[in-house]
Chains A and B, each alone.
Chain A
């Protein structure tokens, strides 16, 4: 086995990313839900000038609802299929105090 193989395998054994990195679905879900609400509200209180500018489409309303749906989809996905945190490899126990 090459030196590189050994070095990277050893680092993989001590890696903390899998165990400690948060779930990005929370951030996407949260941000798009928030954006969705903001933009949908802007769409509910739409002005005539805004409608005229956007070719008579209430684009804020539609975009807002779509973003809200995407945000809720990610939050729901995370709820239904939470990340499984892999058990730490056996070799990891020695360096926890390091």
Chain B
């Protein structure tokens, strides 16, 4: 969800040895092995793009978390912790959990039950071709862009930590992702994500424990930070009253509405790189549980990124300011260098590599699906044999990875343009959620209203950000805060335009809405629950509400 630009400091070179490189090499071999072992299971295009809709919930659930746990996310959130303090928890507890639970409990019956293979395909069923084509093309571009930026970020981190030239790591990591997804398809991507999830945790947990010990435990950490940064640095809500100044540049209302509602729901419920994991589950119950199972690790992962960030702010009090050559993004690499002996260091380097590849692979494996089933199959080469689309899917995967590699090289020369483009694309996500929510809950919403809602919401969010905020028409203290406000503006504009267009255009015939709108069910969706799915710990409602209560409870120690 974040788009930091990377400039890692010199002098972060890690003292890696043969032991660490052995651990890294074993990992790369296993990654490729998974791809080739998954090959035998790919017989149809559905196997390649959605694992034949047959994976168990715990696998899709962990892949759902891991697809989000890219290295740009980990380093970026540790940086946010070092810069803004405990407020980083908002990105997890209010900025992720409610949206994940909503996706599982409310939206999944429509997504999974309608048998759509992608998020844009749902728009085609519910609205019309313009809405479908617009969202497909934008998603495909954004996925390649993000994959490329991930590769570029990887190359900078690897250059700083291991001393590899940038082009070597771009080509090597790109090649591995290309190989395992082209050969094994989504199953290979998801299996690797599950593995990455555990390797990333094995990297972050020792770092967190040693970091805390270094600064005298949690009490030592809070004492130092209260003294140097003030009490609000250690409080989630301190200083967020409307009109109060705080480093985040946002107040409680924009945090709840902008981050917690619009941005978070837009990302978690309509970003196909995430939703695809749930669509590959073996039945509706497993699909519903995918984001709910993911919510529990998500609640606690924040500690493993926030604490290293806070520790870095204690060890290097000047981090991120002009007085230091370390930037906020250096928090985790710095602690790796300072605290980890060879062995665990190898695990940490492997974890970081795994996280970069997870972030890239999630985008590549969703890109190939949208490009093949939504663009090529619907508008270019219709009604071919299934084997044709399977072959095309493999080809476009390779092309997508090569395009990401190209993007990474462009980013290396023009990094400002890339961060600008990322901001630009982030605004296309804003109205997606409003179009989905109105489309799913208001039967009357007309076929034409979808595309106009998308266009209006995107335009309004961009105008608010690039003109009203950047040109200083109204005063918002930070980019972060302006982002939240732009999201709210885009949401409202999208909703208003959808309602207005609906009033003047024809609704979709009732018979075509079965299973797409609240209050209808898909034909054939009344399947009996699989054996064991009625166990109490597998009840979606219990899991979902449990996650919400737990996230709310986590706020308590940081709110007073």
Residues of A within 8 A of B (CB): 1-2, 4-5, 8-9, 11-12, 14-22, 24, 27-28, 31-32, 34-35, 38-39, 42-43, 46-47, 49-50, 53-55, 57, 59-60, 62-64, 66-67, 70
Q: Which of A16, A18, A60 contacts B42 (CB 8 A)?
A: A16
Residues of B within 8 A of A (CB): 19, 22-23, 26-27, 30, 33-34, 37-38, 40-47, 51-55, 59, 114-117, 121, 125, 187, 191, 194-195, 198, 202, 205-206, 209-210, 213-214, 282, 338-344, 347, 386, 512, 522-524
- State whether A11 and B340 are in contact (beta carbons under 8 Å apart), knowing that A2-B512, A5-B524, A18-B282 are contacts in the complex: no
**Is B343's CB under 8 angstroms from A16's CB?**
no
CA distance A5 to B339 in the complex (A): 55
**Is B38's CB under 8 angstroms from A21's CB?**
yes
- State whether A31 and B26 are in contact (beta carbons under 8 Å apart), knowing that A54-B340, A70-B198 are contacts in the complex: yes
Say how far B169's CB is from chain A's closest CB, in angstroms. Answer: 22
A70 surroundings in chain B (CB, below 8 A)? 198
CA distance A34 to B30 in the complex (A): 12
**Is B19's CB under 8 angstroms from A38's CB?**
yes
B338 surroundings in chain A (CB, below 8 A)? 53
Q: Sample 15 A-B pairs with CB under 8 A, ordered by A number.
A: A12-B53, A14-B386, A15-B52, A17-B41, A17-B55, A17-B187, A24-B191, A24-B194, A38-B343, A42-B341, A42-B342, A55-B214, A60-B341, A63-B344, A63-B347
A63 surroundings in chain B (CB, below 8 A)? 202, 205-206, 343-344, 347
CA distance A35 to B205 in the complex (A): 15
**Is B41's CB under 8 angstroms from A34's CB?**
no
CA distance A24 to B551 in the complex (A): 29
A5 surroundings in chain B (CB, below 8 A)? 114-115, 522-524
Which B residue's beta carbon lies closest to that of A1?
Answer: B523
Q: Which of A4, A9, A14, A64 contacts B44 (CB 8 A)?
A: A14
**Is A59's CB under 8 angstroms from B42's CB?**
no
Which B residue's beta carbon lies closest to that of A24?
Answer: B191
Q: 6 closest Cβ contacts across the A-B interface?
A: A15-B52, A17-B52, A50-B341, A42-B343, A16-B43, A11-B46
- State whether A53 and B52 are in contact (beta carbons under 8 Å apart), knowing that A5-B115, A16-B41, A38-B19 are contacts in the complex: no
CA distance A47 to B343 in the complex (A): 12
Say how far B180's CB is from chain A's closest CB, in angstroms. Answer: 12
Say how far A34's CB is from chain B's closest CB, in angstroms. Answer: 7
**Is B523's CB under 8 angstroms from A53's CB?**
no
**Is B194's CB under 8 angstroms from A12's CB?**
no
CA distance A54 to B117 in the complex (A): 48
Which B residue's beta carbon lies closest to that of A43?
Answer: B343
Of A2, A24, A54, A64, chain B has the most CB atoms within 10 Å of the CB of A24
CA distance A55 to B205 in the complex (A): 15
**Is A17's CB under 8 angstroms from B47's CB?**
yes
**Is B347's CB under 8 angstroms from A35's CB?**
yes
A46 surroundings in chain B (CB, below 8 A)? 341
B198 surroundings in chain A (CB, below 8 A)? 28, 32, 70
Which A residue's beta carbon lies closest to that of B185?
Answer: A17
**Is B115's CB under 8 angstroms from A4's CB?**
yes
Q: Which of B54, B210, B344, B512 contacts A39 (CB 8 A)?
A: B344
Q: Which of B53, B210, B523 contacts A54 (CB 8 A)?
A: B210
Q: Which of A19, A24, A34 contacts B195 (CB 8 A)?
A: A24
- State whether A38 and B22 are in contact (beta carbons under 8 Å apart), knowing that A22-B38, A63-B344 are contacts in the complex: yes
**Is B26's CB under 8 angstroms from A64's CB?**
no
Which B residue's beta carbon lies closest to that of A64?
Answer: B343
B209 surroundings in chain A (CB, below 8 A)? 57, 59
- State whether A21 and B125 are in contact (beta carbons under 8 Å apart), knowing that A11-B44, A15-B43, A43-B343 are contacts in the complex: no
Of A1, A34, A39, chain B has the most CB atoms within 10 Å of the CB of A39
Of B117, B202, B205, chain A has the most CB atoms within 10 Å of the CB of B202
Which A residue's beta carbon lies closest to that of B47?
Answer: A17
B202 surroundings in chain A (CB, below 8 A)? 32, 35, 63, 66-67
A4 surroundings in chain B (CB, below 8 A)? 114-116, 121, 125
Of A21, A43, A47, chain B has the most CB atoms within 10 Å of the CB of A21
Which B residue's beta carbon lies closest to that of A5?
Answer: B115
Q: Besides the contacts A27-B30, A27-B191, A63-B347, what 9 more A-B pairs have beta carbons closer than 8 Å?
A: A11-B46, A12-B46, A16-B47, A17-B187, A18-B54, A32-B198, A38-B343, A50-B341, A62-B206
- State whether A53 and B59 are in contact (beta carbons under 8 Å apart), knowing that A15-B53, A16-B47 are contacts in the complex: no
CA distance A22 to B202 in the complex (A): 24
B47 surroundings in chain A (CB, below 8 A)? 15-17
CA distance A63 to B210 in the complex (A): 12
**Is B41's CB under 8 angstroms from A57's CB?**
no
